Amino acid sequence: IGRNIDYHEAVDSTNQTAKEMAEREFAEGTVVVAEMQTAGKGRLGRKWNSPFGTGIWMSLIVRPPIAPPDAPKITLLTAVAVAEGIVHETGMKPGIKWPNDVLVNGKKVCGILTEMKADMDRIHYVVVGMGINVNDQNFPEEIRETATSLQIETGSRMNRARIAASILNDWEKNYQNFLSQGFAPVKDGWKNYAVNLGKEVSVTTFKETISGRAMDIDEDGMLLVKDATGKIHRIVAGDVSLRK
Ligand code: ATP
């Protein structure tokens, strides 16, 4: 991973560029990085703020030999790698909010967007996008209360290349372990950083809002939420917030 780096000053989105590359060539392990994204994306078509030179905006291309329904596990594995990279480079203890946000002191420092092309039984490619706020000193109004950067939290400017290398190292290690040993080691790593397990949450999915206690993640990385009647809901995709 990362031996082939495709560097850009500006792209629409590193995921978009990575998907186009993956369509054209066997680019496994390639990392697309950009100084800025003009149309950085989050989940569900949301926007990702990615100004010039402040953050790590990068996407990896992989062709994992796993079944398509297992692809979300790669998102959790990535969150763990980012959290580990932050620990190694800053000594701060980050948290992970299911499924894909990495937080420092309760604010979002990284978002992850995993996209894939697959048939029923085979993955053609997975593009794993990461946006990590490194040297941002301020944010647009809409995210001022919820976003942070490593520089804001540590009080010092950070070397983006070094942090990116550290995250990619951890990513590769976690990915190899996942391919050889399955999801168990990823799950253990993830639980180490989980911030909302054991807490009262409300989860909005495409069909309903569920309130209850976040109990655990299961063997597939899905969130298990127990409601007031004792029923366990298995959340495949949704927005989780803590209830006050
Ligand atoms: P959340 O759970 O934080 O609502 P999400 O997981 O649905 O977010 P993502 O796809 O990770 O969303 O990211 C998109 C959202 O993150 C945006 O709607 C915006 O609120 C917020 N955001 C956008 N850019 C940044 C950034 N650089 N740093 C932190 N947060 C951002």
- In this prediction, residue 3 has a pLDDT band, given cuts at 50, 70 and 90, of confident
In ligand 1, which atom is closest to the CA atom of 100? 6
pLDDT at position 188 over 90: yes
Query: Is the CB of 143 within 6 Å of ligand 1?
Result: yes
In ligand 1, which atom is closest to the CA atom of 111? 11
Interface predicted TM-score (ipTM): 0.94
Q: Among candidates 177, 173, 106, 175, which has minimal Cα distance to 146?
A: 106
* CATH topology assigned to domain 200-242: SH3 type barrels. (2.30.30)
Query: Is the CB of 240 within 6 Å of ligand 1?
Result: no
What pLDDT, on the 0 to 100 scale, is given for residue 34? 98
Q: How many CB atoms lie within 10 A of CB 180?
A: 8
Domain ranges (residues) in the chain: 5-193, 200-242
Looking at the chain, the whole-number percentage of residues with pLDDT higher than 70 is 99
Q: What is the three-class DSSP state of 11?
A: strand
Q: Among candidates 165, 176, 171, 128, which has minimal Cα distance to 22?
A: 128
Q: Among candidates 214, 200, 192, 175, which has minimal Cα distance to 64?
A: 175
**Residue for token digits 């010039």?**
52
Question: What's the CATH number of domain 5-193, 3.30.930.10, 3.30.70.360, 3.40.50.2000, 3.40.50.300?
Answer: 3.30.930.10
What pLDDT, on the 0 to 100 scale, is given for residue 131? 98
Q: What is the pLDDT of residues 191-232, one digit of tens each?
A: 999 999 999 999 999 889 999 999 999 999 999 999 999 999
The CA 240 to ligand 1 mean position distance, Å, reads 12
